[in-house]
């Protein structure tokens, strides 16, 4: 082999080596480009994921704030409703107390009237008023007692009247007999 052939072979080998090295560099650059693209995509996806995470956290905070506001509003409404119910209950209790006081005052007035009628011997009116008291207070022992007293007095008066009528009839019956006997 001559020198030229060797030089030519070396030259060819060097040229093939350069081509191979160029191809490897090209492949390496392509690989680096692919890696850079992948890294860029990864960074972009990570940035998007971070942004989505932040948006989700902000949305969660917003929803929690709205829920807290709604809870506060509901608690305030419940408190107001409770206060109104308490006021209504107090007003109803006061109305019941006032009505009870009015009824008691009326009963007291009727008791006074019935007692006056008992004293003046107007027993039937006393009974009527005592029955009015019982219509207002069915458990009134005072009204029941008045009715019993007035009824007893009416019976006594009726017995006295029956006795007086009986005596008068007896006198009429006896007088004519005495007159005709003379």
In a domain, 168, yes or no: yes
What are the C-alpha distances in Å from 72 to residues 4, 63, 75?
Answer: 99, 14, 5
Over the stretch 3-57, which tens digit does the pLDDT of each residue have?
Answer: 888 888 888 889 899 999 999 999 999 999 999 999 999 999 999 999 999 999 9
In a domain, 123, yes or no: yes
**pLDDT for position 91:** 93
In a domain, 130, yes or no: yes
Q: Are 150 and 118 in contact (CB under 8 A)?
A: yes
Question: What is the average pLDDT across 69-75?
Answer: 93
Phi, psi at 125, each rounded to 5°: -65, -40
Could you tell me the pLDDT band of residue 176, with boundaries at 50, 70 and 90? low
CB atoms under 10 Å from CB of 112, counted, come to 11
**pLDDT for position 133:** 92
Q: Are 130 and 147 in contact (CB under 8 A)?
A: yes
**pLDDT for position 7:** 84
Structural domain count of the chain? 1
Whether the per-residue pLDDT at 143 is higher than 80: the answer is yes
pTM beyond 0.85: the answer is no
Whether the per-residue pLDDT at 178 is higher than 60: the answer is no
CA distance from start to end of the chain = 212
User: Does residue 139 sit in helix, strand or coil?
Assistant: coil
64 is written with which tokens?
């929690």
Residue showing tokens 């009870």: 100
In a domain, 15, yes or no: no
Helix residue spans in the chain (DSSP H): 3-119, 123-136, 141-180
In a domain, 34, yes or no: no
Short-list 131, 81, 80, CA closest to 110: 131
140 Ramachandran zone, left/alpha/beta (phi>0; psi -120 to 50): beta
Range of the domain at 140: 88-180
In a domain, 16, yes or no: no
Over the stretch 46-61, which tens digit does the pLDDT of each residue have?
Answer: 999 999 999 999 999 9
Short-list 99, 144, 140, 146, CA closest to 125: 146
Cα(129)–Cα(120) distance, rounded to whole angstroms?
14
């Amino acid at each position: 082999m001559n020198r030229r052939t060797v030089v030519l072979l070396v030259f060819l080998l060097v040229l093939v080596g350069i081509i191979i090295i160029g191809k490897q560099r090209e492949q390496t650059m392509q690989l680096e480009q692919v890696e850079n693209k992948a890294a860029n995509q990864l960074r972009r996806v990570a940035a998007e994921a971070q942004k989505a995470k932040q948006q989700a956290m902000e949305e969660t905070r917003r929803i929690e704030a709205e829920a807290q506001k709604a809870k506060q509003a509901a608690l305030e409404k419940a408190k107001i409703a409770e206060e109104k119910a308490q006021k209504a209950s107090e007003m109803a209790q006061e109305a019941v107390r006032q009505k009870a006081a009015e009824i008691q005052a009326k009963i007291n007035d009727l008791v006074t009237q019935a007692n006056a009628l008992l004293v003046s011997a107007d027993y039937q009116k006393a009974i009527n008023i005592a029955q009015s008291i019982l219509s207002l207070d069915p458990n009134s022992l005072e009204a029941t007692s008045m009715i019993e007293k007035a009824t007893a007095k009416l019976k006594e008066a009726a017995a006295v009247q029956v006795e007086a009528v009986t005596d008068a009839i007896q006198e009429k019956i006896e007088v004519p007999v005495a007159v005709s006997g003379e």
